Structure 1
Amino acid sequence: MQHALASAALDALIRSNYLFVPFDDAQFAQIRAGMRVLRLDENQRLFDAGQPAERFFLVASGKIKLYRVSLDGNEKVVEIAGPGQTFAEAVMFMQRHDYPVSTSALEPSEVCSFDSRVFLDLLRGSTRLCFSLLGDLSMRLHARLNEIEHLTLQNASFRVVHYLDEQIAQTPDGRHVIDLSTPKNVIASRVSIKPETFSRILRALADEGIIRIDGKHIEVLDPARLRHYGT
Structure 2
Amino acid sequence: MDRHIVMRAPLFAALDEETAWRLMDSMSPHQLSRGDVVFDEGDPGDSLYVITSGKVKLARTSGDGRESLLSVLGPGEMFGELSLFDPGPRLTTAYVVSDTEFIALGNEALRDFLTDHPEVAMRMLAGLARRLRRSNEGISDLVFTDVPGRVAKALLDLSDRFGKRTETGLLVAHDLTQEELAQLVGASRETVNKALADFAHRGWITLGAKSVTLLDLDRLKRRAR
Partners of 1:17 and 1:174 in 2: CA distance: 31
Q: Would you say 1:60 and 2:56 are equivalent positions?
A: no
Q: Which residue does 1:202 correspond to in 2?
A: 196
The structure with the greater share of residues assigned to helix is 2
Q: TM-score, normalised by structure 2?
A: 0.86
CA–CA separation in structure 2 for the residues paired with 1:128 and 1:122: 11
Secondary structure at 2:38 match in 1: coil
Identical-pair percentage? 23
1:181 matched residue in structure 2: 175
Matched, 1:86 2:78: yes
Quote how far apart the aligned CAs of 1:25 are: 4.7
Question: What is the TM-score of this pair, normalised by structure 1?
Answer: 0.84
Report how far residue 33 of structure 1 moved: 4.1
What is the rounded CA distance, in whole Å, between the counterparts of 2:93 and 2:184 in structure 1?
A: 14
Task: Give the equivalent residue in structure 2 for 1:111.
Answer: 102
- The answer on 1:24 being equivalent to 2:16 is yes
Report what 2:145 is aligned to: 154
Q: Which amino acid aligns with 1:224?
A: D
State the Cα distance separating 1:189 from its structure 2 match.
0.5
Q: How does 1:63-74 map to 2 (within 5 A)?
A: 63-74=55-66
Aligned mates of 2:69, 2:210 — CA distance in 1: 20
Tell me the secondary structure at the aligned position of residue 62 of structure 1: strand
Give the drift of 1:51. 1.4
Amino acid in the other structure paired with 1:101: T
Q: Which residue of 2 aligns with 1:219?
A: 213
Aligned partners of 1:88 and 1:34: how far apart in 2?
A: 18
Q: Is the 8 A contact 2:204 2:214 kept in 1?
A: yes
* 2:39 alignment counterpart: 47
* Structure 2: gaps spanning 5 or more residues: none
SS at match of 1:206: helix
- Give the counterpart of 2:29 among 37, 55, 72: 37
Q: What is the RMSD of the two structures over their aligned residues, measured on CA atoms? A: 2.3
Within the candidate set 135, 144, 147, 2:135 is matched to 144
Pairwise CA distance, 1:54 = 1.3
1:84–1:71 Cα change, 3 Å: same
Which range is displaced more, 186-195 or 101-110?
101-110
Task: Give the aligned length.
Answer: 222
Question: Which of 61, 67, 70 lines up with 1:75 in the alignment?
Answer: 67
TM-superposition CA deviations, 1:113-145 (whole Å, max 9, x none): 122222222223344344444444434433332
CA separation in 2, counterparts of 1:192 and 1:145?
14
Show the counterpart of 1:123: 114
Q: How many Å separate the matches in 2 of 1:118 and 1:27?
A: 15
Q: Report the CA distance between 1:222 and its aligned residue.
A: 1.7
Q: Following TM superposition, where does structure 1 have runs of at least 4 consecutive aligned residues deviating by more than 4 angstroms?
A: none
**In 1: Cα distance, 2:66 partner to 2:194 partner:** 22
More strand by share: 2
Indicate the structure (1 or 2) with the bigger Cα radius of gyration: 1
Aligned to 1:163: 154
